[in-house]
Amino acid sequence: MPRPPLLLEALPQPLRWLVLLGGSLLLAALLVLVRLPAAMLLGPMMAAIAVEAGGGGIRLPRSLLYVSQAVIGCMIARALTPEILRIFAHRWPIFLGVIAAVVAAASVIGAAMSRWRVLPGTTAVWGMAPGAASAMVFMAGEFGADTRLVAFMQYLRVVLVATFATLVARVWVGPHAAATQFTWFPALDALAFAQTLAIAFFGGLIGRLARVPAGVFLIPMILGALLHSGGLVRLELPPWLLAVSYALVGWSIGLGFSREILAHAVRALPQTLAAIVLLMAFAGLLALVLVEAFGIDPLTAYLATSPGGADSVAIIAASSRVDLSFVMALQTIRFLFLLLAGPAISRFVAARIEPLPAPAVAARPMSADETLAQVREDEGELD
């Protein structure tokens, strides 16, 4: 019996996009009214999840996603000043210790999920990698994991981390922190804006053509940071451009929750949620250690140790009162570490997992009829 069509399936494609756009604007406006940080990311993300669940079946063109990633890379580059190198040089044991602890915790949790057969094969090991989501999904497919479930775990973690980090920032910053003078369309420095767009375009193009993992985001970030910190250019990113880029990132995350992925993951959803929350709690404990042992601001420590979603954390940190240089230094270094070493770590852990044997089922005595049937079956096999 064919299933009844979903609500949005009866609408033509342009109307589905209008529903997504309208829902995104409405949710973003509501979040802005309550002065929630990263409203332009979370609103579109929530709308996209709802549209996809309702049978929207729309996909964001990759070119738009690349543009948004390149722009956000430039935004992060603006914060990657030489101060970050000084911070890393001064506090490198802290950085390396936090990164090693988060990666180790994610690997242990993923290995436990695989060992207990929560998800098939080594899917959980790849899915729990705390960052570099697109690279992890790509690599997981090459080593036999279910890429749909890996994507589900990666994007679900990004959603949970972004949402909870936003709420923490909102509570910590307080209702009056956002009451500052703001305009969506400030006066632009035409030369600086043109230079910024050139860095985003050519950096993203280089990252794409060179097939660097997350290169569309990473190359503009590195190139922009070098040019900006060297005083050669001034990165100009008007609020309207950042808002559009945030919305595109939110759509890309939300539309990734296809019905197929959700159907495959529904049975393991409680365990997956528990694993992600456990990893987030562990990162929270690391943040507490940074606060107590090194006197780092609590919100700065929490955002810096949040497990994954460097672009989402960057958006949240940029709209909160935190040490953005410290947050982005730790997030960026962990991101680079996972790009370089994450696949090798996941392969190492996956190769050493031995799933527990399936629980034995107690055999019940066979009835006389079943015994006779079994005898006849055995005689037929002998014949």
Determine contact, residues 76/314, Cβ cutoff 8 Å.
Answer: yes
Q: Environment class of residue 185 by beta-carbon count within 10 Å: exposed (0-12), middle (13-18) or buried (19+)? A: exposed
What pLDDT score was predicted for residue 383?
39
Over residues 69-98, the mean pLDDT reads: 84
202 located within any domain:
yes
What pLDDT score was predicted for residue 376?
45
Cα–Cα dist 149/106, whole Å: 16
Task: Quote the domain boundaries for residue 196.
Answer: 64-174+189-249+260-356
Any idea what DSSP says for residue 380? Answer: H
Determine contact, residues 76/328, Cβ cutoff 8 Å.
Answer: yes
What pLDDT score was predicted for residue 18?
95
254 located within any domain:
no
307 located within any domain:
yes
pLDDT at 362 over 50: no
361 located within any domain:
no
Torsion of CA 316, 317, 321, 325, to 10 degrees: -170
46 located within any domain:
no
Cα–Cα dist 250/66, whole Å: 13
**Band of pLDDT at residue 354, cut at 50, 70 and 90:** low
The number of distinct structural domains making up the chain is: 1
Determine contact, residues 312/247, Cβ cutoff 8 Å.
Answer: no
pLDDT at 74 over 60: yes
- Over residues 236-254, the pLDDT tens digits come to 999 899 999 989 988 987 8
Determine contact, residues 220/74, Cβ cutoff 8 Å.
Answer: yes
- Over residues 120-158, the pLDDT tens digits come to 777 888 888 887 666 676 667 666 677 778 878 887 887
Determine contact, residues 45/250, Cβ cutoff 8 Å.
Answer: yes
Cα–Cα dist 60/208, whole Å: 17
342 located within any domain:
yes
Over residues 160-172, the mean pLDDT reads: 80
Cα–Cα dist 293/77, whole Å: 29
Cα–Cα dist 131/249, whole Å: 15
pLDDT at 21 over 50: yes
347 located within any domain:
yes
pTM: 0.69
Show the DSSP H helices in 36-61 as ranges: 39-53
Name the residue with higher pLDDT: 371 or 294.
294
Closest by CA position to 331, among listed 61, 18, 76: 76
Cα–Cα dist 240/125, whole Å: 38
Cα–Cα dist 158/335, whole Å: 14
Number of other residues whose CB lies within 10 A of the CB of residue 328: 30
Query: Residue 75 — left, alpha, or beta (φ > 0 → left; ψ -120 to 50 → alpha)?
Result: alpha
Determine contact, residues 333/95, Cβ cutoff 8 Å.
Answer: yes
Determine contact, residues 164/205, Cβ cutoff 8 Å.
Answer: no
106 located within any domain:
yes
